[in-house]
């Protein structure tokens, strides 16, 4: 055991990590996706029932149409399959409005963590189901010369995939782009569907419980769950291990 840290065993067994793959919404950015989904609902009663817990468990991490369908089904809407496409379109229009008004912020701990992984010289990828992720990352300065969008060696955000999360396709594409073996990759996710996808792809899941949902991330298979990425031990990460930094 490295002094000052508490090793966390990886769910796929002993692995030497050397590649980072990041989700965007809820991990890197406090983006307005949840707000857009809620405000795109036509019935005020549905809007009141669209809770953060429901968003995290049913919608987060999924492609747009799949998220719309899951939300309407969770709300008990009849003929949800017939309404999902229109709901998804309304959500997209509302999201674009929110982005234009500046309703996007980066999590400071995420930017610190990205810089730390960059300093290790590790390959990094960004992998989000959202087709708006790149536009939002362009708005965030990482330093004087780079936006957040510039620093990833692979970007598979918004790709048209055969299957969305919890299928691992998006993460396997990112690993392939970086010429990395899945077992050497850790995936930073805030949604259970994303953690499930990482584990299904043979990768190590790092869950970020920003919404007091650590239990659901652990249940999905996360090897380590933190409330802030500042809690991850960079010294141990440099040795290929995912560990929590002790106080």
pLDDT category, 245, cuts 50, 70, 90?
very high
User: How confident is the model over 108-121, as pLDDT tens digits?
Assistant: 999 999 999 999 99
User: Rounded to an integer, what distance in angstroms lies between the CA atom of residue 120 and that of residue 123?
Assistant: 9
Q: Residue 160 has what pLDDT?
A: 86
Contacts of 20 (CB under 8 A, 6+ apart): 117, 122, 123, 124, 125, 185, 186, 188
| Closest-CA residue to 209 (of 225, 220, 198, 229) | 225
Q: Residue 172 has what pLDDT?
A: 98
| Mean pLDDT value across residues 71-77 | 95
Question: Are the C-beta atoms of residues 142 and 156 closer than 8 Å to each other?
Answer: no
| Mean pLDDT value across residues 204-224 | 95
Domains of the chain by residue range: 5-30+104-245, 33-100
Does the pLDDT at position 2 exceed 80?
no
Q: Residue 148 has what pLDDT?
A: 96
Question: Are the C-beta atoms of residues 54 and 47 closer than 8 Å to each other?
Answer: no
pTM for this structure?
0.81
User: Rounded to an integer, what distance in angstroms lies between the CA atom of residue 36 and that of residue 90?
Assistant: 9
User: How confident is the model over 139-161, as pLDDT tens digits?
Assistant: 999 888 999 999 999 999 988 88
pLDDT category, 235, cuts 50, 70, 90?
very high
CATH superfamily of 5-30+104-245: HAD superfamily/HAD-like (3.40.50.1000)
Q: Residue 11 has what pLDDT?
A: 38
Task: Please tell us whether the domain made up of 33-100 is placed in CATH 3.40.50.
Answer: no
């Amino acid at each position: 055991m490295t002094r000052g840290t508490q090793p966390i065993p990886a769910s796929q067994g002993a692995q030497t990590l050397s590649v980072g793959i990041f989700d965007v919404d809820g991990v890197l950015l406090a983006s307005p996706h949840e707000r857009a989904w809620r405000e795109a609902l036509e019935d005020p009663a549905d809007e009141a029932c669209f809770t953060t817990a429901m968003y995290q468990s049913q919608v987060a991490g999924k492609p747009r149409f799949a998220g719309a369908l899951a939300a309407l089904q969770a709300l008990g809407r009849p003929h949800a399959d017939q309404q999902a496409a229109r709901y998804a379109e309304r959500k997209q229009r509302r999201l674009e409005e929110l982005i234009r008004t500046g309703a996007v912020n980066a999590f400071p701990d995420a930017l610190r963590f990205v810089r730390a992984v960059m300093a290790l010289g590790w390959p990094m990828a960004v992998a989000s189901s959202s087709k708006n992720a790149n536009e939002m990352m362009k708005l965030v300065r990482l330093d004087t010369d780079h936006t957040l969008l510039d620093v990833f060696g692979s970007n598979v955000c918004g790709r048209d995939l055969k299957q969305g999360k919890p299928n691992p396709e998006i993460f396997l594409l990112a690993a392939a782009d970086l010429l990395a073996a899945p077992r050497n990759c850790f995936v930073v996710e805030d949604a259970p569907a994303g953690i499930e996808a990482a584990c299904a792809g043979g990768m190590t899941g790092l869950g970020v419980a920003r919404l007091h949902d650590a239990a659901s991330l652990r249940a999905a298979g996360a090897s380590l769950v933190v409330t802030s990425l500042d809690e991850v031990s960079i010294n141990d990460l440099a040795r290929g291990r995912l560990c929590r930094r002790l106080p």
